[in-house]
Amino acid sequence: MAVTGARTFRNFVGGEWVDAAAGQTFESRSPATGELVGVFPKSGADDVDRAVDAAYSAFEEWRLVPAPRRGEILFRFGQLLADHKEDVSQLMTREMGKVIAEARGDVQEAIDMSFYMAGEGRRLFGQTTPSELRDKFNMSVRMPIGVVGVITPWNFPIAIPSWKILPALVCGNTVVFKPANDTPLLGERFVELLVEAGVPAGVVNVVHGYGSDVGDRMVRHPGVPIVTLTGSRETGVAVLKAAAEGLKRVHLELGGKNAIIVMEDADVDLAVEGIVWSAFGTSGQRCTAASRVIAHERVYDEVQSRLVEAAERMRLGPGWEPDTDVGPVINRRALEKIHSYTEIGRDEGARLLTGGEVASGNGLSDGFFYRPTIFGDVEAGMRIAQEEIFGPTTALIRVRDLDEAIRVANGVPYGLSSSIFTRDVNRAFRAMRDLDTGITYVNAGTIGAEVHLPFGGTKETGNGHREAGQAALDVFTEWKSIYVDYSGRLQKAQIDTAT
Please tell me the distance from the alpha carbon of residue 118 to that of residue 16, in angstroms, as a whole number: 25
Helix (H) or strand (E) holding 103: helix 100-120
Q: Are 492 and 279 in contact (CB under 8 A)?
A: no
Please tell me the distance from the alpha carbon of residue 238 to that of residue 340, in angstroms, as a whole number: 24
Helix (H) or strand (E) holding 141: strand 136-144
Please tell me the distance from the alpha carbon of residue 319 to that of residue 475, in angstroms, as a whole number: 35
Q: Are 405 and 357 in contact (CB under 8 A)?
A: no
- Side chain identity, residue 14: G
Please tell me the distance from the alpha carbon of residue 287 to that of residue 290, in angstroms, as a whole number: 9
Residue-wise DSSP of 395-440: EEEEESSHHHHHHHHH-SSEESEEEEE-S-HHHHHHHHHH--SSEE
Taking the CB of residue 403, how many other CB atoms lie within 10 A of it? 11
Q: Are 142 and 126 in contact (CB under 8 A)?
A: yes
Q: Which long-range contacts (CB under 8 A, 24 or more apart) does 276-279 make?
A: 276/307, 276/310, 276/311, 276/314, 277/445, 277/447, 278/419, 278/445, 278/446, 278/447, 279/372, 279/392, 279/393, 279/394
Please tell me the distance from the alpha carbon of residue 77 to that of residue 71, in angstroms, as a whole number: 10
Dihedral sign for Cα atoms in the order 62, 65, 69, 71: positive
Q: Which one of the listed residues 95, 253, 460, 467 is annotated catalytic?
A: 253
Q: Is 287 one of the catalytic residues?
A: yes
Three-state secondary-structure class, residue 388: coil
Three-state secondary-structure class, residue 489: coil
Q: Which long-range contacts (CB under 8 A, 24 or more apart) does 361-364 make?
A: 362/317, 363/317, 363/318, 364/316, 364/317
Three-state secondary-structure class, residue 374: strand
Q: Is 478 one of the catalytic residues?
A: no
Q: Name the nearest CA neighbour of 100 among 240, 281, 271, 234.
A: 281
Q: Which one of the listed residues 120, 287, 388, 460 is annotated catalytic?
A: 287
Residue 243 Cα distances to 56, 232, 238, 253, 423, angstroms: 18, 16, 9, 16, 47
Please tell me the distance from the alpha carbon of residue 47 to that of residue 213, in angstroms, as a whole number: 10
Helix (H) or strand (E) holding 309: helix 300-313
Residue-wise DSSP of 17-69: EE--TT--EEEEE-TTT--EEEEEE---HHHHHHHHHHHHHHHHHHTTS-HHH
Taking the CB of residue 360, how many other CB atoms lie within 10 A of it? 11
Please list the active-site residues. Answer: 253, 287
